[in-house]
Amino acid sequence: MKITGKTFVVTGGGSGMGRELTLLLLKRGARVAAVDINEATLKETASLAGEFQSMLSTHVLNITDRDAVSKFPEAVIAAHGAVDGLFNNAGIIQRFVKINDLDFKEMERVFNVNFWGMVNMTKTFLPYLLKRPEAHIVDTSSMGGYLPVPGQSVYGASKAAVKLFTEALYSEMQPTHVHVSTVFPGAIATNIAANSGIDISAMAASENQSQYKTTPATEAARIILDGVEKNKFHILVGSDAKMMDFLTRLVPERATKIIYSQMRSLLAD
């Protein structure tokens, strides 16, 4: 689907990949309704849009609030006249702790944002997208959605749910003009931990921290939008995501042990 001249909703547009997706969409000639729960970071995104600010609207929205989400398409259409695509990008991680040490409240919070927030937005906007000549839904899963990461069990489960939900939606949309893509980022250089309310100062001080290679958020956004323009089924972001996707398919037990050896220094005993 060509991006130029289309209107897209981007969740998590106040920072990280969501911000970079917003800015790159604008540069490629699209109109954008950027969504975030944080008004201050949304204002920063708008400021960074520079000459493209007239093509951008910003909206403070809690995507886990189903009633608020149900009213949101009216605001997007009022600002832009129509909506052609949805980037379900917003997400949070959990504390790097074992399942035994993770409380139910935190588990529910992660699922509410990562899975139900995506479902709320998709269910709300799908009727509008089905009326467009062509549309696209882009859901962000994770490398952790196909590979078990120790200390991120519930985060990974939520992203695996995103993966299966989005693949099922792709199947159901085959007779329509709505394209569907699933994004699988590896390690991306963003502030997702801080946005998730997680203190990673101790992890950052770890002597092994320098070994974790990350993909810049600007590069991640480019890869994602290039994949959208090619209507890709799966969009893998980063050499780590590509390598572990291959290994998980070929030798899943071996892949699980590899990621444990790489991540165990971040996991509290």
Active site residues: 155
Q: How many helices (H) and strands (E) does the chain have?
A: 11, 9
Q: What type of residue sits at position 8?
A: F
Closest-CA residue to 33 (of 54, 10, 4): 10
Rounded to whole angstroms, how far apart are CA atoms 82 and 80?
Answer: 6
Buried b / exposed e over 153-166, threshold 16 CB at 10 Å, is bbbbbbbbbbbebb
Q: Write phi, then psi, for 14 (nearest 5 degrees).
A: -85, -10
For 11, the 3-state DSSP assignment is strand
Q: Which two tokens stand for residue 91?
A: 């997400």
Rounded to whole angstroms, how far apart are CA atoms 74 and 67?
Answer: 13
For 235, the 3-state DSSP assignment is strand
The HSE-up count of residue 29 (CA atoms within 13 Å, CB side) is: 6
Beta-carbon count within 10 A of 135 CB: 25
- For 155, residues 6+ apart whose C-beta sits below 8 A from its C-beta are 92, 93, 94, 110, 114, 142, 144, 149
